[in-house]
Structure 1
Amino acid sequence: MPRLAVLSAMAGAALWGTIGPVASLFTDRERLAYGGIRLAIGACALFALGGRPFTRAWRRHDVLPLLAAALGLAGFQLSYFAAVGTSGVAISTAVAIGLAPVLTGGWTATAGRQRPTGWWLAGTALAAFGLALLMLSGSADVSLSPKGLALSTVAAACFSLQALSIKHLTDRHADTVVLTAMFAIAALLLTPMTIAHATPSLLTGKAVLSLLYLGTVTAGVSYWLFAYGIRHLGAPAAVTISLLEPACATAIAALLLGEHMTASQWVGIGLVCGAIVLTTIPTRTNEPVAVLVRSAP
């Protein structure tokens, strides 16, 4: 089961890696609108996969984690794109994606009063270093600003929040049920921004097909795969595996779009892949090392 969960989380991260090339078809203004549309389409895709969040009673102690998951999902979109506009893609991705596993593992270890395992720490550190090589070594224009760093840190916290909330909720509810509700609420939260930045060009054939792909594949299916990984590996391991996303995005840009990559960037991709192996080395009890704690019943 852990091996399947690792592959599932990796597949979800790889699908996220295709977001960049597709999103490049939109202008900066349109990207702010497509975020909300993507989540709405994702909710519909998850509903089709069997998510029926409003046909069952949610317990009172599920309300706050569900709202936290939706806020984390919506907040990541807002803060990350704002950070990109301030500091650029390289530094924003390095901080937002690289810091998320540290925050997730730290909170899980603190809440469970258990120290992170050595393999998870080594894997996370190696992945963060590989991500830094990947995102920064090929960038000639890296803008370090307090505002950009703050927004990137908020984005990392939001990504961590949604992962921890998904783990909490999927211990008691089906993955599709949790994700459908989470996506629907997040899409509603982003409705004002979506309406404010939507343009008629989003109704063209190419834009509609792109949005359907982004919503169905990079939102609905990818999060479904990611949630399966979270359920069986724990949030810290799954979030560390999600570092595969920028590695896949960079490789796609180089191999399919003809973008130049430096040797350091290829080394960075290799380190990220190696880090994923480290975080999933089994312990003596055949449990994945990256599982720091088990959620309370």
Structure 2
Amino acid sequence: MKRKLPPVFVLLAAILWGTTGTTQALAPEAAHPIAIGATRLAVGGLFLLLVLLVIGKFNFRGWPIKTTLLASFCMALYQPLFFSAVSVTGVAIGTVVAIGSAPIFSGLIEWVYVKNRPSKIWWNSTFLSIIGCLFIFVNKESLLVNPIGIIMALGAGLSFASYTFISRTLVENHSPLSVVAVVFTLSAIYLSPFLFIYNMSWIMSFRGMGVSLQLGIMATGIAYLLFSKGLVHVSSSTAVTLSLAEPLTAALLGVFLLNETLTITSWFGILLLILGIGILLWFPKKLKSNEPVKNGARIS
């Protein structure tokens, strides 16, 4: 039972991430996507830091400063790269390339740095999930393949995969709450200039506050805390593939809350995504990379 809980934590985190699109659609018109991303990290980081201070479990002793700075930089970099890619090359291509490339980058990073070759179960699950993602978004809009947008989307995918890999080494020696609190507070500091570049008057409205709190507390603070707890016993490559439940959740929320319609192709993509994610949840023992790591190497 304990072995099955960590993947479920990651899946729940991805479901919470999937609410961001619907929440942003309900945001005031004056809210710029990048400003929303910066606000999301600021509220999330502050929330996690307050929780950590209340609990009083934070300990600076032996804290890896360079690793923490790198993890926070990767998370901060992901936000503007993803939003910029979507604005340049469209939601369909930007989302598919960014989210679809992240599991591949994650598998390659594990292969190169910890010599942990992904299992056949992981490859099959990742392939089904990425194809499912493609089918969900392919009919959303006219496709615009912009080279700069593609590069940005790939950068976003690499940033998220790198953040996941680095964070997994942090949660081996520190509590998940401490890790996400410190990392997201630093990430918010990195992106704080955006709060002065864009119009932030929308955040003072009732709807703006609601959107900021939902994105910061639920879709960032609690979501990444669950994600980090899952990373303690789930490999980074498996976690990133499970995170593909994010577009699945976003698509279903669009149908039930925003009155969007999905084509038969999109529904087929949803089925493939569910199948791909289900494989990882039902066959955790066949994933060789599920063992915890210590100091960058897998414990056998």
Q: 2:293 maps to what in 1?
A: 295
> In the TM superposition, what is the alpha-carbon distance from 1:290 to its structure 2 partner?
6.0
Q: 1:75 maps to what in 2?
A: 77
Check the 8 A contact 1:123/1:275 in 2, yes or no.
yes
Structure 2 residue 168 is matched with structure 1 residue 157: no
Counterpart of 1:212, as a letter, is L
Mapped partners of 2:220, 2:290: distance in 1: 27
> What per-residue deviation string (whole Å, max 9, x for no partner) do you get for residues 181-224 of structure 1?
00010000001112111331221111011101110000000111
Counterpart of 1:245, as a letter, is E
Q: 2:59 maps to what in 1?
A: 56
How do 1:56-135 and structure 2 match up within 5 A? 56-59=59-62, 62-135=64-137
Cα RMSD (Å): 2.0
Percent of aligned pairs with the same residue? 26
Mapped partners of 1:89, 1:252: distance in 2: 16
Q: Which runs of 4+ in 1 moved over 4 A?
A: 51-55
Q: 1:258 maps to what in 2?
A: 259
Q: 2:243 maps to what in 1?
A: 242
Check the 8 A contact 2:233/2:292 in 1, yes or no.
no
Check the 8 A contact 1:124/1:279 in 2, yes or no.
no
Relative to the length of structure 1, the TM-score reads 0.92
SS at match of 2:289: coil
Mapped partners of 2:165, 2:216: distance in 1: 22
Check the 8 A contact 2:233/2:290 in 1, yes or no.
no
> What per-residue deviation string (whole Å, max 9, x for no partner) do you get for residues 117-176 of structure 1?
11011111111111111111x223111011010000000011011101110100000000
SS at match of 1:233: coil
Counterpart of 1:150, as a letter, is I
Q: 1:290 and 1:210, CA in 2 relative to 1: closer, same or farther beyond 3 A?
A: farther
> What per-residue deviation string (whole Å, max 9, x for no partner) do you get for residues 200-254 of structure 1?
1221111011101110000000111111121111111111000000111011101
Counterpart of 1:291, as a letter, is S
How do 1:3-22 and structure 2 match up within 5 A? 3-22=4-23
Check the 8 A contact 2:8/2:281 in 1, yes or no.
no
Mapped partners of 2:126, 2:30: distance in 1: 32
Check the 8 A contact 2:48/2:180 in 1, yes or no.
yes
> In the TM superposition, what is the alpha-carbon distance from 1:29 to its structure 2 partner?
5.3
SS at match of 1:115: coil
Which 5+ residue runs of structure 1 have no aligned equivalent?
Answer: none
Mapped partners of 1:213, 1:226: distance in 2: 17
Mapped partners of 1:140, 1:47: distance in 2: 40
Q: 1:273 and 1:57, CA in 2 relative to 1: closer, same or farther beyond 3 A?
A: same
Which 5+ residue runs of structure 2 have no aligned equivalent?
Answer: 296-300
